[in-house]
Amino acid sequence: MSSNTVEKKLVKSNSGLRMVAKNDFESSPFLLDEPPWVPDEKCEQCMQCGNKFELFKRRHHCRRCGRCFCKDCCDELLPLPRMCFVDPVRLCRYCANITRKENDFFETHLKVLLDGGIFIIQESKESKGPIYLCKLSPDQRTIIFEGQVSTIDPILVQHIESLQILACPDALGNNVASGLAMKYRDKLGDIQVLKMSVAAGPEKKQAQNWILALQKAFRMVYESRVSS
């Protein structure tokens, strides 16, 4: 099977139908596990407004956090690509806010990452370094580097430890991204730092957008890593 396609399967849960990778090891690093639902009997009142549940005030579970709310506090239906739901799902206010921001990532920034940007990779301080097309692999798991002469090992998104965005003023004096330093763990588990600079030329803007998209991607993966 080529790395361009990830085989998917349909699975059913309490919350709805999901389309997930057939093999777990092919799952995108941007995905979240479904939370366990707070059991009905453990929840006598809405976890937002505190109103008691009764016959006509039913419980509704937020699909993202699994907590229990009344209808008014859990009335948003949104697509939830981080959990692979086929249809929009019910979300509490808090989760709806986060989800809206993340859906923006899936709708715009993910495409920027997949398209890639042109960067100069600095292997040492002295050399200017060769030029690479850096992009997210189609299965979203790795950052790959396509160069004309040399090669760089792909970096797993899950193995990025930190990103430092480098900025410099443009012609108008506004700060724009000029490069980044990526700290990551290599195949042996050793910490490495890769320095990438935006290459001058017509594709400069695209590379700057790529850096910002990577920053959003990293935050999303990192936040779910520290909260789990």
When binding is defined by CB under 5 A, the residue of 18, 30, 37, 62 that contacts Zn ion is 62
Q: Does 77 bind Zn ion (CB under 5 A)?
A: no
Q: Which range of residues in 4-12, 61-69, 205-213, 219-227 is near Zn ion by CB under 5 A?
A: 61-69
State how far the Cα of 180 lies from the Cα of 196, in Å rounded to an integer: 5
Output 71 or 225, the one with its CB closest to Zn ion.
71
Output 73 or 211, the one with its CB closest to Zn ion.
73
When binding is defined by CB under 5 A, the residue of 65, 118, 144, 217 that contacts Zn ion is 65
Output 31 or 167, the one with its CB closest to Zn ion.
31
Q: Does 46 bind Zn ion (CB under 5 A)?
A: yes
DSSP string, 25-73: GGS-TT--PPPPPPPGGG-SB-TTT-PBPBTTB--EE-TTT--EE-TGG
Q: Does 220 bind Zn ion (CB under 5 A)?
A: no
Nearest approach in angstroms of CB 67 to Zn ion is 6
Number of residues that bind Zn ion (CB under 5 A): 10
User: 93 forms bridges with which residues in the sheet?
Assistant: none
Collect contacts of 103-108 with beta carbons under 8 A, ≥24 apart. 103/78, 103/79, 105/30, 105/213, 105/216, 105/217, 105/220, 106/30, 106/81
Q: Does 49 bind Zn ion (CB under 5 A)?
A: yes
State how far the Cα of 154 lies from the Cα of 136, in Å rounded to an integer: 10
Output 82 or 141, the one with its CB closest to Zn ion.
82
Q: Does 68 bind Zn ion (CB under 5 A)?
A: no
98 secondary structure, DSSP code: H
Output 95 or 157, the one with its CB closest to Zn ion.
95
Q: Does 96 bind Zn ion (CB under 5 A)?
A: no
103 secondary structure, DSSP code: H
Residue spans of alpha helices (H) in 2-120: 93-104, 110-115
> Which residue ranges make up the site for Zn ion (CB under 5 A)?
46, 48-49, 62, 64-65, 70, 73, 92, 95
